[in-house]
Amino acid sequence: MIDELRQNYGYLFEDELLKEIEAVGVVKELEANVTLIEIGNYIRSIPLLIEGAIKILREDDDGDELVLYYIERGDTCAMTLSCCVGQTKSEIRAIAETDVKLIMIPVQKMSEWLGKYKSWQNFILQSYHNRMLEMLEAIDTIAFLRMDDRLLKYLRDKAMVTHDDQINATHKQISEDLHTSRVVISRLLKKLENEGKITLHRNHIKILEL
């Protein structure tokens, strides 16, 4: 575990902190599409991502989902942090986008380290900041962009996060992520295909250029 830690966080944290993380953290491996955090859950530990990607969703009153942002290697979840500190319920749902390996850190340690390690403090603050920026971007996308732009961004994000130019999702799943109807996605995807940016197949999409 210490090797994986070094590899992914070594440049961020000092040795002492890495050792503490090793002593107290629990490694977890999850398959794709497993729910890590459900809305309303209380959170008792902080995830540090080693491998894979996690998708953070918000759910509205009707139970419709909306993707807020993705967490990747070297990230942690900002929502988790605010929940832990405030001892409140989770406002979001976290689902493993790919197979995922992560280290869970108990809340107490995480706040203890805040005072103890400058690097940890920076890490937390930095990741909070990044998440904030991503959130703003997500809001912009929803409020100001039309569906076709949102779809493009979605495809780009998804390809980036999975490190693959093949996207395995049905039009229906995409439409649910983007909070729209399947028909609209089909039409927009068709348009992108005609523009030569993607090719469509049953159950997956191949990205040519974005």
Which residues in the 125-164 window bind DNA by CB under 7 A?
146-148
Contacts of 80 (CB under 8 A, 6+ apart): 37, 43, 46, 47, 90
Is 184 a binding residue for DNA by CB under 7 A? The answer is yes
Is 188 a binding residue for DNA by CB under 7 A? The answer is yes
CB of 182 to DNA, least distance (A): 7
Q: Which of 19, 129, 156, 190 binds DNA (CB under 7 A)?
A: 190
Q: Which of 27, 107, 170, 207 binds DNA (CB under 7 A)?
A: 170
Q: Which of 172, 195, 208, 210 binds DNA (CB under 7 A)?
A: 172
CB of 159 to DNA, least distance (A): 16
Is 208 a binding residue for DNA by CB under 7 A? The answer is no
Residue 58 or 187: which CB sits closer to DNA? 187
Contact stretch for DNA (CB under 7 A) within 69-77, 124-132, 154-162, 187-195: 187-195
- Which residue, among 162, 116, 163, 146, has the nearest Cα to 19 in the 3D structure? 116
Is 180 a binding residue for DNA by CB under 7 A? The answer is yes
CB of 60 to DNA, least distance (A): 13
Is 186 a binding residue for DNA by CB under 7 A? The answer is yes
Is 32 a binding residue for DNA by CB under 7 A? The answer is no
CB of 188 to DNA, least distance (A): 7
Is 202 a binding residue for DNA by CB under 7 A? The answer is yes
Contacts of 27 (CB under 8 A, 6+ apart): 1, 50, 101, 102, 103, 104
Read off the tokens for 161: 């996060």
Residue 162 or 186: which CB sits closer to DNA? 186
* Footprint on this chain of DNA (rule: CB under 7 A): 146-148, 170-172, 179-184, 186-190, 200, 202-203
